Amino acid sequence: MSALRFIAAATLFIATPLYAQDKTVRVDSIFNFATAQTPGCAAGVSDHGKPIVNKYYGLANLDTRTPLNASSLFDIGSTQKQFTATSMLLLAQDGKVSLSDDIRKYLPELPDYGHKVTIDNLLTHTGGIRDWTGLLPFAPEGTDVATLLQRQRGLNFVPGTEWSYSNGGYELAKTIVARASGMSFADFTRKRIFEPLGMKSTAYVSDILQAGTNASLGYQKDGSGWKPFMRLGNNRGGGAIVSTISDMLTWQDALASAKLGKFVTDKLHEQTRLSNGRQLDYARGVIVEHTPGGVVVSHSGGAAGFSTWMGRVPEYGLSVAVSCNFDPVSATALAGRVADVFLPPVDSQALARARANAPVAASGVDVSSRAGLFFDERTGEPMRLGVNNGRLQVANGPPLVPVSATTFRITRPTTFFRSQDDFVMTFVDDDHIEFKSMEGQVTRFRRAKPYTPSESELQSVDGRYESKELGAVYELVPGKNSLAMRMEGAPEKSIELAPVDRDTYMFRMMIVRFRRDASGKVAGFVYDNPLAKGIAFTRLGNRTNSGGATAKVPVAKDSVTPKPSAASAAAPKLEALVGEYELAPGRSIVITLENGQLQGQPTNNSKAPLFYISGTTFGIGRADSPAKVTFTLDDEGRGAMMTMKQNGQERVLMRVK
């Protein structure tokens, strides 16, 4: 019989047990995609606290050809949330905080949201705090996450009524830990968690490049090769926890044996309840999932090119950790396959019960006509239905099972979609849907009708709009039958919005709804995306270049490097920028000036010309390149450091020569 496992976020794994084989060989076969020329993964397994697998596949650093090994550090992404939650629980145990405290007791700079948000709301993702990952891409370059979160005036929902994953909430939690403890979050986790448990390599750092010589680098597939792909600087949010596979197993086994005390362990694993009484799989920084194969306690994490899963199956004393340093890959799926090697087959009765509880699909139901865009009749929130492999599916949600010609259910509720609601979705008619929650609450959606705005409607929204919450000004530029929404001064930050209803435009699941005053004039708009709702923009007036045509942004020609002008005080002397700037320990970028042209050459890479844009900013390879460097000058006008922005990442390089 096949062994069937549910591991982590309702992921299904099927494998045939071949217990006669050496299990290490079977683990090796799972990672045979990693070679001595590619990034790879590390995998660890412990049995009742005894390490039985520590394996490493591929390279930690492609430039130095350093292989992944027992000392390799990974950016473990959101698996760090269990350390944040544990830190807060230790402070609660010490009597320095209460989980029911209003977060503004410790963060008085936050606005009054109109609702109390508690510390426990942050730890359980029930506070409605907007996720910074849905905000930062729309804020000016250099905006730090802490400042961005302080600017937010609203919540995604009333605290306690829903569940929505919020990196923003956990960033606030880290700040509370620091203020309540009187030490930095890095020092607190080191002194209260990592050192007492013997996790000698684990640390909280600003980003992976600050982790020292054992840091593995993250990569992304780029054609037949690889390119660096990491969250750095401001794009890393409040910082990263780096760890080794061995330390991750130590942590899992410490939780299993309650080494930090019963209160901390019990509260960390206590499953969340919404205000309506619904129990969720998410606890505090970990997911506690009841599966046919037993309870699985876990969390996954992703940070650009890094992917991590760590968890355990308490019934069998088995802990597993997998980290990879390339994208795309699912450490969750790989960890499930590793666990399958060491777990016995699922009990047939448990498997039968799981199948009996799953909805049975009605035969012969044609779903092709059901697809389309719908709006919540009360809130206007969009929902898009599509057809995938013959099944109806909600965008960013699970596939739906037809239990009749008009009624649909999901195979298994998940915390990450509609707060783990075991709902019933019914088509009242072709254009109207009702969602009935497991508690009986009904939400109605209406189908969006095809809409083509008139030229005058498009022209009426042409203008400049400011969001104080984002600290940004955007231009709305009419097109033939669409709107371009672009950040003022950064035209590369532009998205094309398609009309979906009167005064309503969308790009994927981002939506803009214009507000008009009593006279019918556009006064502003509200921007929503799945991670941040209700961002208000106020109209400032006309664009500098109005009239409906897209404003042209002058750029230098690639073949010419403009000479610094005496009239431009910000234009630097090119020879003053020449030097060596440290990229990482043992790696640098050398800036040279050759025939009036700046060149940049990273260690072990070819030169690339730098083309002048404005001030002290240059495009890498061409003037209109999205990859840029900006020099910071010292008092004598010489380059002191260089900020490089590339592939959505930002890093600061200090001049060393």
Report pLDDT for 585: 57
* Residue 163 pLDDT greater than 60, yes or no: yes
Report pLDDT for 571: 56
Report pLDDT for 18: 37
Report pLDDT for 305: 96
pLDDT tens per residue across span 37-93: 999 999 999 999 999 999 999 999 999 999 999 999 999 999 999 999 999 999 999
Report pLDDT for 555: 32
Q: Of all residues in the chain, what percent carry a pLDDT higher than 70?
A: 90
Rounded-to-integer distance, Cα 120 and Cα 18, Å = 45
The dihedral through the CA atoms of 468, 470, 471, 472 has a sign that is negative
To the nearest 10 degrees (0 to 180), the angle between helices 167-181 and 81-94 is 40
pLDDT tens per residue across span 331-378: 999 999 999 999 998 777 767 676 767 788 888 899 989 999 999 999
pLDDT tens per residue across span 541-573: 998 654 333 333 333 333 233 333 333 334 578
Query: What value does the mean pLDDT take over residues 435-444?
Result: 97
Indicate the SS3 state at residue 162: coil
DSSP per-residue codes, 540-578: EE--TT-SSSPPP-----TT--PPPPTT-TTPPPGGGG-
* Residue 403 pLDDT greater than 90, yes or no: yes
CA neighbor of 445 nearest in space, from 404, 385, 360: 385
pLDDT tens per residue across span 445-496: 999 999 999 999 999 999 999 999 999 999 999 998 999 999 988 877 789 9
Peptide bond into 328 cis (omega under 30): yes
Q: Which two tokens stand for residue 369?
A: 């006509």
For tokens 């509609």, the residue is 418
Output the average pLDDT for the chain: 88
For tokens 């061995």, the residue is 246
Query: What value does the mean pLDDT take over residues 191-214?
Result: 96
CA neighbor of 166 nearest in space, from 84, 94, 276: 84
From residue 44, alpha-carbon distances to 241, 247, 308, 318 in Å are 18, 10, 12, 11
Query: What value does the mean pLDDT take over residues 19-47?
Result: 90
Report pLDDT for 19: 40
Rounded-to-integer distance, Cα 549 and Cα 458, Å = 12
* Residue 226 pLDDT greater than 50, yes or no: yes
Report pLDDT for 158: 97
Report pLDDT for 503: 94
Report pLDDT for 88: 98
* Single-letter code of the amino acid located at 167: N
